[in-house]
Structure 1
């Protein structure tokens, strides 16, 4: 081979070997170390052996990795612990990522002439992350407030719609994975607006049109020969306009509180269900059988009235359904109503208007059966005392004075029943003593009642039923409880203390009612529960009576 060609080949080989040798030397130098000028979240681990680099990352970034992640959801922030997100910083994996490709020619060149910023490597428990995002969604998500119409009296009022919001859980999970473990600043997560079904314009339109027409006149309910009328006030009290799922509003009438009152007007007595009750014969309670019957179907009635109001109709055929009585014959026989467990009588002068009210409320309650565990409310059972139900005007205490009101005097019945509860050993739930002491009642063992408050309530805390049996004469009222006797009850009272004199006053006017003047005092009464002669427990009743003024009407 000619000398010139050999020289050329030597030059070419030299040119080829120089970079190869340079790469080999550089690669050999970099081998076993993290490439120079390599940073992870601002931490320089360049030139360190892998073990040292890993230790430095743990030392520098472990604090950040445990900082709660703050999620920015627009107008609020939610903080979540990393372990609940299923996230953990992987220092070893991060070092491996930094070394990956570092000994390739390109990697060697980058190590010699550039720098590297490596994202931290994290481990993710996808199930825990998804669960955490669902938990965040529970805090963040807000259903839209749907538009509608309510009523203030007979005036329809708009309920304007408001948009809701919903967290994009998958997008939020991605944002959290990208940001962790930066340790600073909030992570903005995607939240989208949820529009309501009905626009504000549709709501305003309903207020000015259909909602006004709906309460412009009474609505008539019929059933066979029965008839009842709902006044505009009754309609408005139970009517709302709600989304119809087509972008508009529809009327929705709630008849659930009406059905029981309508039964008496729309269903004849011989067709209505009748509860089993008891008749006391020769001192023994006997079951009077129950009967199934027909009653107003409240749910179907609400739908029928809603449809009529939507179409402009003012007459509705009330739907009926077959109804079992609350207390069947079979249930009554198993209630353990077998003996008189308490009885109490209070007395009153004959023939005053208040006596009419006392007898009327006693007749309404007579025969009522209180089921085991049930709380008896005198106001719920009797309802408002009005002339239509046979009550009359009589004196009652209001604003520290005697005034005439329909139903006055029924507190004597409440007091009589309170003592039947007391001596029957049943749980006192709510009783309010009179403001002034009334001498015909036992001091500290009496209760007032008015409608709707104060109520008189007691709970049948026994496993047996309780039959309430009432009777009255021209000068007395008696309440008896029949059940299964559990306790012997004794009553013990303290002396009256903190006795205070009464003031003497004069007033004038046609509504003035004289007051006799009674001292105020405090008294304590103990209810003592006994069984087989042994005291089981004691219950204290503490009562404070205000002085009743002596009022002369001039």
Structure 2
């Protein structure tokens, strides 16, 4: 029997709609259950399907599949000129983590679940932008393509204001270029921009007025700042060279201090207002390392100094401001040091020298500076990087050193003996030699083939703590010796084996005159090989060869 047709009433449509909603809700619930903790099905990023993957797997897939595209240079056209832009140099990078999080967060709504069921959804890739690097890259491109506008400013010759007038340029607008590049990265291969005139922010008249008015006011008297209640006054002769008037976004010239330059100019005066942090270290008590806690310091940030002082110079007197102190964190905290496994002696070495020469003062000075220094796991120790240029202010004196094959006096001469002593502690500690340079001539107080010279800035002496534990540098000395001991967690027993000297070469004798003549005793040149033999539990696990070529040292006789 034929059924009568269903009337198309509002009630009928309501029933159909309710059924459809029910189906969709059930489908939504099913999708949500199945994809819990995963990227929703049919989710794509630049055509790459990451649906159904875990967050970690989705990130890995995007990083892998988009790696080449992320490195691809962008073709850059401005007017009739073309060049390219390296995205890495410009500070552009694909942010896979943020992209996947957006995909997972937005993919939980009913509407996007329906999208997934009906064919999928597309998520736009998110990028990270280093604005400073991008602007630097765009400035370089503008220099290639056109002529950048020169901003006007006021500088100081001594305490006299000097107007540097602005100049028009031509090229592309950096702000527009930045927006187009960010939009094109990963999605387009070419960015095109129109070229036109580039106008400086401030007019020439504005620069002249600033030089004649506010800039003269700026150097009309001293400025004073206080740090934690302690006051420090600077005269115009001190601060003017670190002050400029530069245009703001509205084209008005404003005073701006170079904070780093100011801090350098103030030097010790500023240091007395600060407190240096103290690194955690260890002292040796009864033959064992004992932890000495770290301490936070207080410092004046150059940016804070500039920010506080810049507005002062255009104000009426008195011109004074407070500069805040920031926390100065130690390089190594107590908590970090306690986890470094510094518990036993891993190597020690001593070299000897005659008493009382000026070079001994330098050996002792550098030993004091480095005593207690802790080298973290994976860290590379640089003697020049840590100690810096040897100077009289820290107690270094003039003493002989080898320069271009001759003995000359220089501040810090003799510290190569410390470098040699430390090199041997590195050698017998089983640590990684990164950079060492033997002396050009053999010096008999050092072990042949196991020694290192050092000067500033080069040659440096560097070694890497390739162990999983920290290394404590412990120094001690007498009037005739210097000792470097390393403490940490012992990994190897090290043996040293040397070849006989070979390729021996005789020295020549010379007679010279003049006030700079320095007698030299003369010594044979030779070659030698040294092996570092690594042992664990009595078994050899590694060998390392060091080859050294010593030149013949001439015999120099000085004639009056």
Once residues 146 and 372 of structure 1 are traced to their aligned partners in structure 2, the CA distance between those partners, rounded to angstroms, is 48
Q: Which is further off, 419-428 or 341-350?
A: 419-428
- CA, structure 1 residues 344+321, in 2 after alignment: closer, same or farther (shift >3 Å)? same
Report the counterpart of residue 382 of structure 1 in structure 2: 387
Q: Is the alpha carbon distance of 1:406 and 1:72 closer, same or farther for their aligned partners in structure 2, counting shifts above 3 Å?
A: closer
400, 408, 420: which is aligned to 2:413?
Answer: 408
Match of 2:440 in 1: 435
Moved more, 214-223 or 425-434: 214-223
TM-score, scaled to structure 1 = 0.61
Q: Which of 264, 268, 272 lines up with 1:266 in the alignment?
A: 272
1:258 CA drift (Å):
5.2
CA contact (8 A) 1:148 1:240 kept: no
**1:303 aligns to what SS in structure 2?**
helix
Note the C-alpha offset of 1:280: 0.7
Could you tell me how far apart the structure 2 residues matched to 1:332 and 1:325 are? 11
Please state if 1:504 is matched with 2:504: no
Matched residue, 1:24? none
Whose radius of gyration is greater, 1 or 2? 1
Among 332, 348, 357, the alignment partner of 2:353 is: 348
Equivalent position to 1:300, from 287, 304, 325: 304
Contact 1:141–1:165 under 8 Å retained in 2: no
CA contact (8 A) 2:154 2:210 kept: no
From 270, 282, 288, give the equivalent of 1:278: 282
Q: Is 2:462 the partner of 1:457?
A: yes
User: Aligned partners of 2:157, 2:524: CA distance in 1, in Å?
Assistant: 45
Partners of 1:158 and 1:207 within 8 A in 2: no
Q: Which residue of 1 aligns with 2:49?
A: none
8 Å Cα contact 2:351/2:481 also seen in 1: yes
Are residue 164 (structure 1) and residue 168 (structure 2) matched?
Answer: no
TM-score by length of 2: 0.61
Residue 479 of structure 1 aligns with which residue?
A: 484
Q: Which moved more, 1:481-490 or 1:293-302?
A: 293-302
Q: 1:273–1:200: structure 2 CA closer, same or farther, 3 Å change rule?
A: same
What is residue 528 of structure 1 aligned with on the other side? Answer: 533
- Please state how far the C-alpha of 1:359 moved relative to its aligned partner: 0.3
1:287 corresponding residue in structure 2: 291
Are the aligned partners of 2:371 and 2:473 in contact in 1 as well (CA < 8 Å)?
yes
Indicate yes or no: 2:396 matched with 1:391. yes
- Secondary structure at 2:340's aligned position in 1? coil
- The CA distance in 2 between the partners of 1:520 and 1:197, in whole Å, is 67
Against the structure 1 CA distance between its residues 226 and 75, is the aligned structure 2 distance closer, same or farther, given a 3 Å change threshold?
same
Whether the 8 Å CA contact 1:432–1:447 is kept in 2: the answer is yes
CA displacement at 1:535 relative to structure 2:
2.9
Using the TM superposition, give the Cα deviation of residue 392 of structure 1 relative to its aligned residue in structure 2, in angstroms: 1.2
Corresponding residue to 2:471 among 466, 478, 482? 466
Q: Is the 8 A contact 2:421 2:483 kept in 1?
A: yes
Measured in 2, the distance between the counterparts of 1:525 and 1:277 equals 34
Gap change, CA 1:139 and 1:387, over 3 Å in 2: closer
Please report how far the alpha carbon of residue 312 of structure 1 lies from its aligned counterpart in structure 2 after TM superposition. Answer: 11
Distance 1:505 1:217, change over 3 A: farther
Instruction: Specify whether residues 545 and 207 from structure 1 end up closer, same or farther in structure 2 by C-alpha distance, changes over 3 A only.
Output: farther
Q: How many residues align?
A: 410
Q: Does 1:546 align with 2:551?
A: yes
CA RMSD of aligned residues (A): 4.6
- Secondary structure in 2 aligned to 1:498? strand
- The superposition leaves residues 81-107 of structure 1 with CA deviations (integer Å, 9 ceiling, x where unpaired) of xxxxxxxxxxxxxxxxxxxxxxxxxxx
Contact 2:308 2:321 in 1 (8 A): yes
Per-residue CA distance 1:285-331 (angstroms, 9 max, x = gap): 11112223323333312434555677799988654223343322222
Paired position in structure 2 for 1:96: none
Structure 1 residues 196, 511: CA separation in 2 closer, same or farther (over 3 Å shift)? same
| Pairing partner for 1:448 from 423, 438, 453 | 453
- 2:365 touches 2:396 (CA, 8 Å); kept in 1? yes
Partner in structure 1 of residue 368 of structure 2: 363
CA distance in 1, matches of 2:452, 2:500: 20
2:521 is aligned, of 503, 516, 520, to: 516
Structure 1 runs not aligned, ≥5 long = 1-69, 80-126, 129-136, 173-187
- For structure 2, which runs of at least 5 residues remain unmatched after alignment? 1-74, 85-122, 125-136, 181-191
Please give the alpha-carbon distance, in whole angstroms, between the structure 2 residues aligned to 1:520 and 1:234: 56
| 1:468 Cα offset (Å) | 0.6
In 2: Cα distance, 1:441 partner to 1:217 partner: 60
